[in-house]
Structure 1
Amino acid sequence: MENNRGGFGFQSLEIYRLAKELVIDCYNITRGMPSEEKYALCQQMNRAAVSIPSNIAEGYSRFSTKEKMHFMNMAYGSLMELTCQYEIARDLNYISHEQMNEYIEKAKKSGSEDKQLQKDNRETIGKQWESDGKTIEKL
Protein backbone atom coordinates (compact mmCIF):
# COMPACT_ATOMS: atom_id res chain seq x y z
CA MET A 1 0.00 0.00 0.00
CA GLU A 2 1.35 3.40 -0.95
CA ASN A 3 2.35 5.98 1.59
CA ASN A 4 0.82 9.32 0.62
CA ARG A 5 3.25 12.11 1.45
CA GLY A 6 2.11 15.68 1.19
CA GLY A 7 -1.54 14.67 1.46
CA PHE A 8 -3.92 15.13 4.35
CA GLY A 9 -3.01 14.50 7.97
CA PHE A 10 -5.33 11.52 8.46
CA GLN A 11 -3.41 9.66 5.74
CA SER A 12 -0.43 9.31 8.06
CA LEU A 13 -2.47 7.64 10.82
CA GLU A 14 -1.74 3.95 11.36
CA ILE A 15 -5.42 3.26 12.08
CA TYR A 16 -6.33 4.74 8.71
CA ARG A 17 -3.78 2.57 6.90
CA LEU A 18 -5.02 -0.55 8.73
CA ALA A 19 -8.63 0.31 7.87
CA LYS A 20 -7.74 0.70 4.20
CA GLU A 21 -6.13 -2.75 4.27
CA LEU A 22 -9.42 -4.14 5.56
CA VAL A 23 -11.22 -2.52 2.61
CA ILE A 24 -8.85 -4.01 0.05
CA ASP A 25 -9.05 -7.45 1.68
CA CYS A 26 -12.84 -7.26 1.77
CA TYR A 27 -13.13 -6.34 -1.90
CA ASN A 28 -10.77 -9.17 -2.82
CA ILE A 29 -12.83 -11.66 -0.82
CA THR A 30 -16.22 -10.51 -2.11
CA ARG A 31 -15.01 -10.83 -5.71
CA GLY A 32 -14.82 -14.58 -5.12
CA MET A 33 -18.32 -14.94 -3.69
CA PRO A 34 -21.26 -16.32 -5.69
CA SER A 35 -22.81 -13.90 -8.18
CA GLU A 36 -26.19 -14.05 -6.42
CA GLU A 37 -24.54 -12.26 -3.47
CA LYS A 38 -23.29 -9.34 -5.60
CA TYR A 39 -26.13 -7.04 -4.56
CA ALA A 40 -26.68 -8.58 -1.16
CA LEU A 41 -23.94 -9.69 1.23
CA CYS A 42 -21.05 -8.53 -0.97
CA GLN A 43 -22.41 -5.03 -1.27
CA GLN A 44 -23.11 -4.81 2.46
CA MET A 45 -19.63 -6.03 3.33
CA ASN A 46 -17.95 -3.60 0.94
CA ARG A 47 -20.00 -0.66 2.24
CA ALA A 48 -19.24 -1.50 5.87
CA ALA A 49 -15.54 -1.86 5.05
CA VAL A 50 -15.37 1.48 3.20
CA SER A 51 -17.18 3.17 6.07
CA ILE A 52 -14.33 2.43 8.49
CA PRO A 53 -11.54 4.56 6.95
CA SER A 54 -14.12 7.08 5.72
CA ASN A 55 -15.28 7.79 9.27
CA ILE A 56 -11.68 8.00 10.47
CA ALA A 57 -10.93 10.56 7.78
CA GLU A 58 -14.07 12.57 8.51
CA GLY A 59 -13.47 12.47 12.25
CA TYR A 60 -9.93 13.69 11.78
CA SER A 61 -11.25 16.80 10.05
CA ARG A 62 -13.58 17.75 12.90
CA PHE A 63 -12.60 20.36 15.44
CA SER A 64 -14.21 19.25 18.68
CA THR A 65 -13.23 16.17 20.66
CA LYS A 66 -16.90 15.20 20.89
CA GLU A 67 -17.22 15.16 17.11
CA LYS A 68 -13.94 13.29 16.68
CA MET A 69 -15.09 10.63 19.15
CA HIS A 70 -18.45 10.35 17.38
CA PHE A 71 -16.74 9.42 14.12
CA MET A 72 -14.34 7.03 15.86
CA ASN A 73 -17.40 5.32 17.36
CA MET A 74 -18.98 5.15 13.91
CA ALA A 75 -15.80 3.57 12.50
CA TYR A 76 -15.79 1.01 15.32
CA GLY A 77 -19.47 0.24 14.72
CA SER A 78 -18.74 -0.38 11.04
CA LEU A 79 -15.89 -2.68 12.03
CA MET A 80 -18.28 -4.71 14.20
CA GLU A 81 -20.82 -4.79 11.36
CA LEU A 82 -18.16 -6.09 8.99
CA THR A 83 -17.15 -8.74 11.53
CA CYS A 84 -20.73 -10.00 11.65
CA GLN A 85 -20.86 -10.12 7.86
CA TYR A 86 -17.57 -12.05 7.68
CA GLU A 87 -19.04 -14.58 10.12
CA ILE A 88 -22.12 -14.96 7.92
CA ALA A 89 -19.91 -15.42 4.86
CA ARG A 90 -17.94 -18.10 6.71
CA ASP A 91 -21.11 -19.83 7.91
CA LEU A 92 -22.34 -19.93 4.30
CA ASN A 93 -18.98 -21.41 3.26
CA TYR A 94 -18.18 -18.39 1.06
CA ILE A 95 -14.89 -17.88 2.90
CA SER A 96 -12.57 -20.28 4.67
CA HIS A 97 -11.81 -20.40 8.37
CA GLU A 98 -8.31 -19.22 7.48
CA GLN A 99 -9.69 -16.13 5.72
CA MET A 100 -11.91 -15.47 8.72
CA ASN A 101 -8.97 -15.78 11.10
CA GLU A 102 -6.87 -13.41 8.97
CA TYR A 103 -9.69 -10.88 9.06
CA ILE A 104 -10.12 -11.24 12.84
CA GLU A 105 -6.42 -10.58 13.43
CA LYS A 106 -6.51 -7.38 11.37
CA ALA A 107 -9.82 -6.30 12.88
CA LYS A 108 -8.49 -6.79 16.41
CA LYS A 109 -5.42 -4.77 15.54
CA SER A 110 -7.47 -1.82 14.39
CA GLY A 111 -10.40 -2.23 16.78
CA SER A 112 -9.19 -3.11 20.25
CA GLU A 113 -6.77 -0.24 20.58
CA ASP A 114 -9.41 2.09 19.16
CA LYS A 115 -11.90 1.22 21.92
CA GLN A 116 -9.25 1.30 24.65
CA LEU A 117 -8.01 4.69 23.50
CA GLN A 118 -11.54 6.04 23.43
CA LYS A 119 -12.21 4.71 26.91
CA ASP A 120 -9.01 5.94 28.53
CA ASN A 121 -8.24 9.12 26.64
CA ARG A 122 -11.42 10.86 25.51
CA GLU A 123 -9.87 14.29 25.88
CA THR A 124 -6.38 13.33 24.83
CA ILE A 125 -7.46 12.01 21.43
CA GLY A 126 -8.78 15.40 20.42
CA LYS A 127 -5.50 17.06 21.29
CA GLN A 128 -3.53 14.36 19.48
CA TRP A 129 -5.62 14.61 16.34
CA GLU A 130 -5.29 18.39 16.42
CA SER A 131 -1.51 18.02 16.27
CA ASP A 132 0.18 16.77 13.13
CA GLY A 133 -1.60 13.42 13.17
CA LYS A 134 1.52 11.44 13.98
CA THR A 135 0.78 10.93 17.67
CA ILE A 136 -1.95 8.35 17.03
CA GLU A 137 0.06 5.51 15.63
CA LYS A 138 -1.76 2.40 16.81
CA LEU A 139 -5.54 2.69 16.88
Structure 2
Amino acid sequence: MDSVIKDFRDLEVWKRYKVLRSEMWALCKSFPLEEKYRLSDQIIRASRSVTACIAEGYGRFHHQENIQFCRQSRGSLYELIDHVDVAFDSEYIDEKKKSELIDMIVLCIRILNGYIRHLKKQKELNKKSLPTK
Protein backbone atom coordinates (compact mmCIF):
# COMPACT_ATOMS: atom_id res chain seq x y z
CA MET A 1 0.00 0.00 0.00
CA ASP A 2 2.34 2.66 -1.30
CA SER A 3 -0.17 5.42 -1.97
CA VAL A 4 -2.47 7.27 0.36
CA ILE A 5 -5.74 5.47 1.02
CA LYS A 6 -8.59 8.01 1.10
CA ASP A 7 -11.42 5.50 0.88
CA PHE A 8 -12.11 1.88 -0.10
CA ARG A 9 -11.80 2.68 -3.82
CA ASP A 10 -8.07 3.30 -3.28
CA LEU A 11 -7.51 -0.22 -1.96
CA GLU A 12 -5.72 -2.52 -4.41
CA VAL A 13 -7.98 -5.38 -3.37
CA TRP A 14 -11.12 -3.39 -4.28
CA LYS A 15 -9.62 -2.27 -7.60
CA ARG A 16 -8.87 -5.90 -8.54
CA TYR A 17 -12.36 -6.94 -7.54
CA LYS A 18 -13.87 -4.20 -9.67
CA VAL A 19 -12.07 -5.64 -12.71
CA LEU A 20 -13.27 -9.12 -11.76
CA ARG A 21 -16.84 -7.84 -11.34
CA SER A 22 -16.73 -6.38 -14.86
CA GLU A 23 -15.33 -9.63 -16.24
CA MET A 24 -18.15 -11.60 -14.60
CA TRP A 25 -20.75 -9.20 -16.01
CA ALA A 26 -19.31 -9.65 -19.51
CA LEU A 27 -19.35 -13.42 -19.03
CA CYS A 28 -23.04 -13.38 -18.10
CA LYS A 29 -23.92 -11.46 -21.25
CA SER A 30 -22.76 -14.47 -23.27
CA PHE A 31 -25.06 -16.93 -21.48
CA PRO A 32 -28.35 -18.11 -22.97
CA LEU A 33 -31.45 -16.11 -22.03
CA GLU A 34 -32.84 -18.91 -19.85
CA GLU A 35 -29.91 -18.37 -17.47
CA LYS A 36 -30.80 -14.70 -16.87
CA TYR A 37 -32.52 -15.41 -13.54
CA ARG A 38 -30.46 -18.44 -12.64
CA LEU A 39 -26.71 -18.69 -13.13
CA SER A 40 -26.26 -15.15 -14.46
CA ASP A 41 -28.11 -13.67 -11.50
CA GLN A 42 -26.04 -15.70 -9.02
CA ILE A 43 -22.75 -14.69 -10.67
CA ILE A 44 -23.70 -11.02 -10.75
CA ARG A 45 -24.83 -11.07 -7.12
CA ALA A 46 -21.67 -12.85 -5.93
CA SER A 47 -19.36 -10.54 -7.89
CA ARG A 48 -21.15 -7.47 -6.53
CA SER A 49 -20.97 -8.89 -3.03
CA VAL A 50 -17.19 -9.15 -3.38
CA THR A 51 -16.73 -5.39 -3.83
CA ALA A 52 -19.63 -4.40 -1.56
CA CYS A 53 -18.23 -6.35 1.41
CA ILE A 54 -14.84 -4.68 1.01
CA ALA A 55 -16.55 -1.28 0.94
CA GLU A 56 -18.76 -2.05 3.94
CA GLY A 57 -15.89 -3.48 5.96
CA TYR A 58 -13.77 -0.43 5.22
CA GLY A 59 -16.52 1.73 6.65
CA ARG A 60 -16.58 -0.12 9.96
CA PHE A 61 -14.88 1.35 13.01
CA HIS A 62 -13.06 -1.72 14.29
CA HIS A 63 -10.48 -3.82 12.46
CA GLN A 64 -12.22 -7.05 13.47
CA GLU A 65 -15.44 -5.96 11.76
CA ASN A 66 -13.48 -5.09 8.64
CA ILE A 67 -11.80 -8.51 8.74
CA GLN A 68 -15.19 -10.22 9.03
CA PHE A 69 -16.49 -8.43 5.92
CA CYS A 70 -13.29 -9.42 4.10
CA ARG A 71 -14.01 -13.02 5.01
CA GLN A 72 -17.50 -12.68 3.56
CA SER A 73 -15.94 -11.28 0.41
CA ARG A 74 -13.61 -14.27 0.28
CA GLY A 75 -16.62 -16.58 0.57
CA SER A 76 -18.19 -14.86 -2.43
CA LEU A 77 -14.98 -15.39 -4.39
CA TYR A 78 -15.10 -19.11 -3.70
CA GLU A 79 -18.75 -19.05 -4.73
CA LEU A 80 -17.66 -17.49 -8.03
CA ILE A 81 -15.24 -20.36 -8.62
CA ASP A 82 -18.15 -22.76 -8.28
CA HIS A 83 -20.27 -20.69 -10.67
CA VAL A 84 -17.45 -20.72 -13.23
CA ASP A 85 -17.32 -24.51 -12.89
CA VAL A 86 -21.08 -24.65 -13.50
CA ALA A 87 -20.70 -22.44 -16.59
CA PHE A 88 -18.03 -24.81 -17.87
CA ASP A 89 -20.07 -27.92 -17.07
CA SER A 90 -23.04 -26.34 -18.88
CA GLU A 91 -20.76 -25.74 -21.89
CA TYR A 92 -21.21 -21.96 -21.77
CA ILE A 93 -17.44 -21.47 -21.61
CA ASP A 94 -14.45 -23.48 -22.76
CA GLU A 95 -11.56 -24.82 -20.69
CA LYS A 96 -9.34 -21.84 -21.54
CA LYS A 97 -11.90 -19.28 -20.36
CA LYS A 98 -12.59 -21.34 -17.23
CA SER A 99 -8.86 -21.39 -16.38
CA GLU A 100 -8.49 -17.65 -17.04
CA LEU A 101 -11.41 -16.78 -14.78
CA ILE A 102 -10.39 -19.12 -11.97
CA ASP A 103 -6.81 -17.80 -12.11
CA MET A 104 -8.18 -14.27 -11.84
CA ILE A 105 -10.35 -15.23 -8.85
CA VAL A 106 -7.49 -17.06 -7.12
CA LEU A 107 -5.28 -13.98 -7.52
CA CYS A 108 -8.02 -11.89 -5.93
CA ILE A 109 -8.19 -14.37 -3.03
CA ARG A 110 -4.42 -14.08 -2.52
CA ILE A 111 -4.56 -10.29 -2.53
CA LEU A 112 -7.47 -10.38 -0.09
CA ASN A 113 -5.60 -12.74 2.22
CA GLY A 114 -2.74 -10.23 2.25
CA TYR A 115 -5.15 -7.43 3.10
CA ILE A 116 -6.62 -9.51 5.94
CA ARG A 117 -3.10 -10.13 7.29
CA HIS A 118 -2.47 -6.37 7.14
CA LEU A 119 -5.70 -5.68 9.05
CA LYS A 120 -4.79 -8.26 11.69
CA LYS A 121 -1.39 -6.60 12.18
CA GLN A 122 -3.03 -3.19 12.50
CA LYS A 123 -5.46 -4.62 15.04
CA GLU A 124 -2.57 -6.00 17.11
CA LEU A 125 -0.65 -2.71 16.88
CA ASN A 126 -3.73 -0.84 18.11
CA LYS A 127 -4.07 -3.24 21.05
CA LYS A 128 -0.44 -2.66 22.04
CA SER A 129 -0.81 1.12 21.87
CA LEU A 130 -3.87 1.23 24.17
CA PRO A 131 -3.14 2.40 27.71
CA THR A 132 -3.38 -0.31 30.35
CA LYS A 133 -5.49 0.11 33.47
Provide TM-score, normalisation by structure 1.
0.79
**Does the 8 A contact of 1:19 with 1:53 survive in 2?**
yes
The aligned residue for residue 73 of structure 1 is: 71
Over 3 Å counting, the alpha-carbon distance change for 1:10 and 1:116 in structure 2 is closer
- Deviation of 1:114 after TM superposition, in Å, equals 2.1
Q: Which residue of 2 aligns with 1:132?
A: none
Q: 1:25 to 1:72 in 2, by over 3 A?
A: same
CA contact (8 A) 2:50 2:73 kept: yes
- Structure with max Cα Rg: 2
Over the residues paired in the alignment, what is the CA RMSD in angstroms? 2.1
Given the superposition, is the C-alpha separation of residues 11 and 36 from structure 1 closer, same or farther in structure 2, using an over 3 Å criterion?
same
> How does 1:57-136 map onto structure 2 within 5 Å?
57-115=55-113, 117-118=115-116, 120-121=117-118, 123-126=120-123
Q: Distance in 2 between matches of 1:93 and 1:75?
A: 27
Segments of 4+ in structure 1 off by > 4 A? 125-128
- Which runs of 5 or more structure 1 residues have no equivalent in the other structure? 1-6, 129-139
TM-score normalised over the length of structure 2: 0.82
Show structure 2 runs of 5+ residues with no match. 126-133
Task: Describe the SS at the equivalent of 1:93.
Answer: coil
